Structure 1
Amino acid sequence: MSFGEKLSRAWRHLSSSKAEAKRAFPDDTLKAIADAITAGEQTHRGEVRLVVERALPFDCAWDGVTNRQRAIALFADCGVWDTEDNCGVLIYVNLAEHKVDIVADRGIDRKIDHATWQAVCRTMTDGFKQGKFHEASLDAIGQVNALLRQHFPAEGARPNELPDKPLML
């Protein structure tokens, strides 16, 4: 990445505002997402975590950390890898770059391919382009829940291992 590209990317992240993030994901949207995650997790063994990041930390933006690399780091930082059945799924939204990435634990990765996850990501990014953050997020959560229900159906009551409320960074 050239100096100019680094500078442009860093500026995009530095100039991203908390107000923009709040407009995209207001409290009612965050609650609806949490409710959808909670309801879905009652039908499958997966654990779903949504992380919305307004902007990368400056050093990550400057050093060229990719969206995928950041999602993998947050997958670890949020403990999504540490679920009982290795059924954690992290949906990572980078608002400054308008990108979405999904990282699934090894138990899920064996059954659901990358192209399927990319289709879920496109649901979000296509909706975001139209300003439909609420609808696109709920549609994507619905798709993730359906995939997990198909491959990892619920087998009775189980504890909730990860918070259902989206994490806003």
Structure 2
Amino acid sequence: MNQFLTDQQIASLVEAIQSAEEHSTGEIRVHIDSNTETQNAQTAFEVFKKLCMNKTAERNAVLFHVNFEQKYLTIIGDTGIHEKVHQSYWDRLHDYITSEFSKGNYYKALKSAILETGLELKKHFPVEGENHNELPNEITFS
């Protein structure tokens, strides 16, 4: 489906999302966009809404919107998580991921970012009682 990640790596990223969400009420999604040529950030916000990521109970969903061809990454944290970690957190994570992407480490960068985001979500939104998975854990494509 794309030349940047193998099917096995995509399956492993889904497992990383499940693991990252295990101890938190937060939700993490990865969307790989191969169509958008301009306005990647605007497209990322549209995808965020289309995937209903702005509808979680605690507004703590995080989207990694990746366009490998355009070398573009947008990270969107909904209002609940963004209030806790602030812009500097996202900037640092973005810098790490794009630095790894520039070395061709697409899988490593996304997996690390997913797991690190999971730790932040666990810190600010720990599970108390039953942990409902509000959104699917699959990687989406366009």
Map Cα deviations across residues 11-69 of structure 1 (whole Å, 9 max, x no partner).
xxxxxxx5xxx22121111111110110111111101111011231xxxx3xx42x221
Q: TM-score, normalised by structure 1?
A: 0.78
Q: In the aligned structure 2, how far is the partner of 1:87 from the partner of 1:146?
A: 13
Q: CA deviation at 1:77?
A: 0.9
The equivalent of 2:91 in structure 1 is 118
Q: Indicate the RMSD between aligned Cα atoms, in angstroms.
A: 1.4
4+ long deviations beyond 4 Å:
none
Q: In the aligned structure 1, how far is the partner of 2:96 from the partner of 2:72?
A: 11
Letter paired with 1:109? H
Q: In the aligned structure 1, how far is the partner of 2:77 from the partner of 2:22?
A: 18
Q: CA deviation at 1:85?
A: 1.6
The equivalent of 2:65 in structure 1 is 92
The equivalent of 2:10 in structure 1 is 30
For 1:1-169, what aligned pairs fall within 5 Å after superposition?
22-56=2-36, 61=37, 64-65=38-39, 67-169=40-142
Q: In the aligned structure 1, how far is the partner of 2:85 from the partner of 2:74?
A: 14
Q: CA deviation at 1:134?
A: 1.2
Q: CA deviation at 1:115?
A: 1.7
Q: Secondary structure at the match of 1:157?
A: coil
Q: TM-score, normalised by structure 2?
A: 0.92
Q: In the aligned structure 2, how far is the partner of 1:32 from the partner of 1:123?
A: 20
In structure 2, stretches of 5+ residues that fail to align are: none
Q: Secondary structure at the match of 1:92?
A: strand
Q: Secondary structure at the match of 1:48?
A: strand
Map Cα deviations across residues 91-134 of structure 1 (whole Å, 9 max, x no partner).
11111221111111111121111121121122221111111111
In structure 1, stretches of 5+ residues that fail to align are: 1-17
Are the counterparts in 2 of residues 55 and 95 from structure 1 also a CA contact under 8 Å? no
Q: Secondary structure at the match of 1:81?
A: helix
Letter paired with 1:107? G
Are the counterparts in 1 of residues 24 and 131 from structure 2 also a CA contact under 8 Å? no
